[in-house]
Each structure stands twice: as C-alpha cells, then as structure tokens.
Amino acid sequence: MSYTIEGETGPWELVIGLEVHAQVTSQAKLFSGAATEFGAEPNAQVSFIDAGFPGMLPVINRECVAQAVRTGLGLKAQVNLWSRFDRKNYFYADLPQGYQISQYQHPVIGQGEIEIELADGTTKMVGITRLHLEQDAGKSLHDQHPSKSYIDLNRSGVALMEIVSEPDMRSPEEAGAYLTKLRQILRYLGTCDGNMEQGSLRADVNVSVRKAGEGFRTRCEVKNVNSIRFVMQAVEAEARRQIEVWESGGVVEQETRLFDTTRGVTRSMRSKEDAHDYRYFPDPDLPPLVLEQTWVDELEAALPELPDARRARYVGEFGLTPYDAHVLTLEKETAAFYEAVAKGRDPKMAANWVTGDFFAGLNRTGHSIGDSPVSAGNLGSLLDLIKDGTLSGKLAKEVLEAMFETGKPPSAIVEERGLKQVTDTGAIEAVIDDVMARNADKVAEFRSGKEKLFGFFVGQTMKAMQGKGNPALVNDLLKQKLAG
C-alpha cells in the first residue's frame, strides 16, 4: 500500500523531488585560490576574486571538477565531456560579483540514479536529473548591529554541487531515505563531508500533491532545509498545507517557501511574480569545460567501493545477514573499522562483536567510531584471545569493557587482572572434585537421573574458578566425573 495523506476528499498522493546543494570537499574555492575551511574568522578566507574586485577573473579549480566527476560516477550518471558555466545575475549584498557562476544549460553531469532502502526492507530507484557545479554566495549577518548588516565572504566562491533528483519520491520516508543515501555516497566518495549542521549539505524540497492517477499539480519549493529529519517534516507539512488549499477550493500557487522548524509549518518566502529574472548567459570569462575521457576513466578506476557494492560483498563473501551488512556499511568509517577487525578472522564473529558489544560500548561511553578508545587492532586481538581459548566469551566482554575504560590492548588487561582462562585439566579436576564433595546429595540426585542438575555443577565449578575455567573443558571433565 503506497503512502497517502487522508484529506476530507479522500487520499492524496505526494510527489517529491529534491535539489541538494553539497559543498565540494576541496582545499580551494571553485574559481579562486582562497581556502575553504569551516569556522574561520569572518572574511579571513577571501581573495579579490571572491570579493568581486575590478579586473578579477575566475580560473576553474581542477580538483573541484574532479570531485564533481567522481560524484557523477558514484551516482552512475552520465559525465558530460563538454559543459559550460553561465552567469546567474541578481543583486544581493553577499553576492559580490552581482552574479553567481553556475551551470545552467550544460551541466557537467547528466542523468543518473540512486537506489534507496526503505524500512520495510524494499528498495526503490530514484532518478538523478543532473549535477552541476556552482559558486556559493557569502553570508549576510543581520543580527550584529541594530541598523547595519554585516557581510562574511568566507563562503563566497566555495564550490557547490547542485544535485537535482527526478520527482520520483512519494513519501516523507522516501525523501529521507534518498537524502540519507545521497549523503552516504558523497561521504564514501569523499566529495562532500555531508555535514548538515555546518551547511555543507542542504536541500531544497519540491513538493506537490495529487489524486491517484493524475498528472502533476503545481509544486512549491521549500528552501534550505538542513537536516534529514526536517526534510521529512517539511514534506509532510507542505503536503498537508497544499491539500488544505486544494480542498478548500483554492489553488496552490508556485512559490518558494521556508520551513519553520519550531512551528513545524512552511511559510511563503517569495511568489512566482517576485521571482528574479536571472538573465542567464554563458560566462565570457570562462571557456567551455572540456574533459578528456581518459581523465574520467582514471578517476573512475580510482573510485572507492561504494555502499551498495560493499553491502553485497559483505553478504556474498562474508556471509553476513543483510541487516548486519547494512548497519556496517552505513558509514564509511564503520565499514573500514569492521574490515580491519575482520581481516584474517571469522567475518561473522567480527560482525557480531562490532555490531554488538563494540557499538554498545561506544554508546555507553559516548564515543564515535572516529574517537573510539578501542582500536580495530585491539578489538581484533580480543577476538584472537577468544579463538585461541585464552578468554571465554564472558571474560572477553569484561575485557572489552576494561578496554573502553583504559584504551589498553586486551593482552595487558588479561595480564593485569589475571583473567586468563584456566585450561589446566588437573586444576579444573581439583575444583570439580571439591564441588562434588561439598554437594554429595546433588551428585546422588544427578546419578539417579536428575540430569538437569548438570548446569548447577557447571555454575558451581565456574564460580569457584571465578569464571576463568575453560567452558569446554569444564563441561567435558564434569561429564566424565559425574558419570562416575
């Protein structure tokens, strides 16, 4: 059953498309040599080019183009060997040149697609219309002075990829899944850090509603939504607003809206009549962007493994469950950590430990995988200690806890705390003999058929050994001794 919103006149379908602005990960801006680091003092990272000084000219940054091409390849999209930069003309205080250099008619990347995963386990393809490179504008600060606005041009000229989807999504969940997946791919590729709080990734959400079987109705664009949760909320809020307009006999006007995150509603930003006439024309300062196929091929050959391929490999080669494979590939860092743990070891065991006790430990101690006190190498060593019988599973959990607290390798913790498992059969036999002597009545009961008492003897033996007895040996020896 597809997603609908129930109105007074019955169910409404949603039609959603996203335009995502992703800041290109690069040392320098798109057309100037200025740095791009986040959080610098205002106007500390501005060249005369970014500030639109007289006589300044743009020169394309090759690495930014490479990042766009890598992204296009990651989206299985067409790479256009010939593309062009256009000027989008409008006046604003934080747009120093009076135009934004963008790719209007001829984007560097054409059609592609993304497979999204939904909560019910199904997948869906969402089409990518295009990806183009453009400059970011600066930032106007209106809250620094009672009557003046301040301008910070650090962002001015920073390279953005605008990634436009087809109107293929039909629910808030799909929109959220699309943005999640896109972000994941960008982060795997290293072409955008995906940091939505810092504004490295922002989405314009196009929403319309319709009755089943209809063509598209008028859409509205909700600008600059800066989290996946807000995208999902904005879709629903805007859809409900439009349904109300249609059902009260009104007409939805094409317009640009903003999402009020505190009130959970969208409000009008500017109507179609106020829309700028951007007077696009080819930027005469920049020749067409012509790429060599061999260069594109080199970039493609050097692409990292992407989440879909990696997930398939984890299921196919490692025998992981699709769920575990999904969890382990969500973040590039997690997958890398897992692979380091699994290398030369049982991949399923590694998956269980990473997704189980290790994740729990991170949660408990408030760490992320990037600053985990337990390194992949140390977690691997812990698995080795289980494998060679030094530690029981139970002891290993204790050791891992200590590793989270101290950051030490497991061998050091085993040594310090004397946690080494006892595999000396003589020592285990001595303990078993003592337990049986102290519980002669239970031994008799067992021997007369009350076999479920076996667990009692295991427990008593392990208790006496402070949990350090090798469980398999304890079992074997108990069976022998109890058998008489």
Which CB atom, from 3 or from 280, has the smaller least distance to other proteins?
A: 280
Could you say whether residue 53 binds other proteins (CB under 8 A)? yes
Which of 9, 11, 81, 98 touches other proteins (CB under 8 A)? 98
Which CB atom, from 150 or from 454, has the smaller least distance to other proteins?
A: 150
- How near is the Cβ of 73 to other proteins at its closest, in Å? 25
Could you say whether residue 151 binds other proteins (CB under 8 A)? yes
The window from 49-57, 348-356, 364-372, 441-449 that contacts other proteins (CB under 8 A) reads: 49-57
The window from 56-64, 228-236, 424-432, 471-479 that contacts other proteins (CB under 8 A) reads: 56-64
Binding mask 221-260 for other proteins (x = CB under 8 A): ----------------------------------------
The window from 70-78, 162-170, 201-209, 281-289 that contacts other proteins (CB under 8 A) reads: 281-289
141, 79 contact by CB (below 8 A): no
Cα gap 29→37, rounded to integer Å = 10
Could you say whether residue 290 binds other proteins (CB under 8 A)? no
Cα gap 64→49, rounded to integer Å = 17
Which of 4, 38, 63, 89 touches other proteins (CB under 8 A)? 89
Q: Which residues of 73-101 are buried (b: 16+ CB within 10 A; e: fewer)?
A: bbbebbbbeebbbbbbbeeeebbbbebbb
Cα gap 108→60, rounded to integer Å = 13
At position 289, the amino acid (one-letter code) is L
- Output Rg (C-alpha) for the chain, integer angstroms: 30
3-state secondary structure of 140: strand
Instruction: Count interface residues toward other proteins (CB under 8 A).
Output: 30
CA distances from 320 to 20, 176, 309, 349, 473 (A): 33, 26, 14, 10, 30
Which of 29, 70, 87, 202 touches other proteins (CB under 8 A)? 87
**Structure tokens belonging to residue 216:** 């598209």
Other C-beta atoms within 10 Å of 402: how many? 18
Could you say whether residue 103 binds other proteins (CB under 8 A)? no
- How near is the Cβ of 283 to other proteins at its closest, in Å? 8
List residues near other proteins by CB under 8 A: 48, 51-60, 87, 89, 91-93, 96-99, 149, 151, 277, 279-281, 284-287
